[in-house]
Amino acid sequence: MATPQREIPRTSPYSKPFYKWLDRLAPVGLALFMMAVFVDYSWWMIKSPQHLASWRTLIFFAIWIPTTLFYIIMAIKDIAQNWNGRWEFAGPKARNRLADTVGAQKAGMQQDFFRSVTGKRYDLTQNAFFRWLFHRRWYQFAVQLPNVIIFNIVIIAGLVGVVNPNRNFATVITWYVWFGVLFVLMIGVGRAWCLICPFSAQAEWVQRLGLFGKGKKLLTLGLKWPQKYSTLLISVFFFLGLTWAEEFYNVAGPGKPAFTSMLVAGIIMWDLFYALTFERRSFCHYGCPLNGVIGVVSAVAPFEGFRAKDRSLCKTCTTKECMRGSERSYGCGWYEYPGSMSSNFYCGLTGECFKGCPYENIGLSVHAPLKEAYQPKKKRFDLAFGVTLMMGALFFEILNATPQYAGFDTWLSHATGWNIAAKALDGQLSGYPMPLDYLGIIFLFPLLGWLVSLGASWISRKQIQARELFTRYCYGWIPLFGLGILARQLPKVLTNGPTIAQVISDPFGFGWNMFGTAHMHMHARAFAYHWILFVQLSFVLIGGVASLFVTQKISQLDFQGRPGSGAINIVMHSTIAILMVAMMAGYYYIALTNPGHPLVPPF
């Protein structure tokens, strides 16, 4: 953290009338926006040909009215408390004198753990506007609210809207837009999705009994998450389960919009259960099916998350408001301590630590991408194992589009009798995907990583443990996985995404025309059809090269000078290259077998 810091002003910008009124009126504006959306949708619903007493209208208002009422009541409470600057940051406290002596000595002793990586970084909080914004209590709420409204409409649209998925807001938004935007956000900013996540937002609002204010009491049992289940693998297994269920019920196929609606509502209820039972954001850590994917892919992003600018000052801080909370902030919901963060895997960008730190010692730096993947000294086995499992899931997603897999899966389903069970479960008729081959393909990849690590350990004459090699080098798979999974979403997102123009004006397919775009000729599978493959291959190539770069850096930082490090480096690079070529070949083969594609050979 050797970046020279500019002097931070001693007074709060809140004292200036402009900032004061902006702080007061921004939440008011958001509340009015919420009301406007409520009134607009209600008006169109009443005006539509549906009878007011029909079950569709009743479901609409049964969800729409209570949620909006809850938001409005909470918003009024928080706006009233925010009006007089109740949670305002008065200005930084004087620096602890011990920081330059005892603190610096303690930080120096851990220099190896917090190894600094060369290169430029720019701290966004040097800018007065960002500093002001991150101190606002409504900073997170402002980005959460539009998303919450969108996903509440998704739930309603799935339940009451038309069955045609390409004319239903639920399917189009969730699978054609959200699933693409999600990966772009991960690769671009890190856990930006977690910042705006509508699922945890609503659960957290209930837990905190407020939308953005800082209350004293929480509505939760506050149980601690059990120690032995504190691992990332839980969320990875949830992700694998969700992927299987999504394929089995053809939720994103696109299937019935009601399944999408039930999926979103189910995640919200599940999150709510966690929030009411466990402390902080236990769901985001140990329940969210996307936590593993987002955390891992965030390592590609050039944002390092909210982190201490000067660790020696943190070493002498006895109050730790960043973790424990203060009068104007909650403690970090993500169980992170900015004073010892070495990666952005678990920074949810909520900014509570920034508001809490009395010394104004938290920054949000932008640096070269990929650093977060190789920089951490403390690399974790469960995370590495999770990366290999998710790589397996990605390869499954590629393989399942091939005719050979379809034939094999159908045969296995019939041979094992799975197709009968699938009928009972109301899934796909052929029983696709058969759980055995699904898990078999996925577990091939941890096995591959482990075998390569065993070989590498043998090269080092057992001087380096296979577990250590597996743990550290599997971080090198991250960029390939991140860009590879984005490439997998591209066909659906790019070819079908423009149908958003129609459904945004007619979300339920009732014949509305809210924004005048309902009759635009935007058909599914009509866009970007011919050149999509080349974008996919480019993404995989970029991901592969980035993975090779990260692997090289890991070799330099973690294994330089150790026995057999040169040969191990070559083995690990070769593994990445093989994975990259296999992935590119997979995407190319899918395109070839796709009828109508210009690259299909003439037979």
Q: Binding residues for another protein, per CB under 8 A?
A: 109-110, 112-113, 224-225, 227, 230-231, 279, 315, 318, 320, 323-324, 331, 335-337, 339-342, 377-378, 380, 382
The smaller minimum CB distance to another protein, of residues 279 and 304, is found at 279
Minimum CB separation of residue 77 from another protein in Å reads 23
Question: What are the backbone angles phi and psi of residue 363, rounded to the nearest 5°?
Answer: -125, 165
Q: Which residues contact 145 (CB under 8 A, 6 or more apart)?
A: 30, 33, 34, 211
Residue 283's identity, in one-letter code, is F
Report in angstroms the alpha-carbon separations of 2 from 125, 308, 576. 16, 11, 33
The smaller minimum CB distance to another protein, of residues 51 and 378, is found at 378
Minimum CB separation of residue 540 from another protein in Å reads 32
**From CA 57, how far away is CA 49, in angstroms rounded?**
11
> Helix or strand or coil: residue 363?
strand
- The β-bridge relationship of strands 362-367 and 303-308 is antiparallel
Minimum CB separation of residue 302 from another protein in Å reads 23
> Helix or strand or coil: residue 270?
helix
Residue 382's identity, in one-letter code, is D
Q: Which residue has the tokens 């944002």?
A: 303
CB-facing half-sphere around the CA of 412: CA atoms within 13 A: 15
Token pair in block for residue 240:
């694998």
DSSP state, residue 164? -
CB 466 within 8 Å of CB 457: yes
Minimum CB separation of residue 164 from another protein in Å reads 46
Minimum CB separation of residue 562 from another protein in Å reads 16
The smaller minimum CB distance to another protein, of residues 349 and 524, is found at 349
Minimum CB separation of residue 222 from another protein in Å reads 10
Q: Which residues pair with 124 in a beta bridge?
A: none
Minimum CB separation of residue 307 from another protein in Å reads 12
Which runs of E-coded beta strand occur in 403-478?
Answer: none
453: enclosing H helix or E strand: helix 435-459
Minimum CB separation of residue 525 from another protein in Å reads 44
The smaller minimum CB distance to another protein, of residues 108 and 511, is found at 108
Measured on CA atoms in the order 424, 428, 433, 434, is the torsion positive or negative?
positive
Minimum CB separation of residue 347 from another protein in Å reads 12
Minimum CB separation of residue 359 from another protein in Å reads 15
Minimum CB separation of residue 299 from another protein in Å reads 17
The smaller minimum CB distance to another protein, of residues 6 and 378, is found at 378
* Per-residue burial over 66-92, b = 16 or more CB atoms within 10 Å of its CB, e = otherwise: ebbeebeebbeebbebbeebebbbeeb
**From CA 132, how far away is CA 23, in angstroms rounded?**
10
**From CA 264, how far away is CA 250, in angstroms rounded?**
15
Closest CA to 530 of 590, 594, 598, 586: 598
The smaller minimum CB distance to another protein, of residues 173 and 341, is found at 341
Question: What are the backbone angles phi and psi of residue 231, rounded to the nearest 5°?
Answer: -150, 150
The smaller minimum CB distance to another protein, of residues 103 and 257, is found at 103
Q: Which residue has the tokens 């796709």?
A: 594
Closest CA to 91 of 8, 7, 10, 6: 10
Minimum CB separation of residue 106 from another protein in Å reads 9
Cis amide leading into 358 (omega within 30)? no
Class of residue 408 by CB neighbours under 10 A (exposed 0-12, middle 13-18, buried 19+)? middle
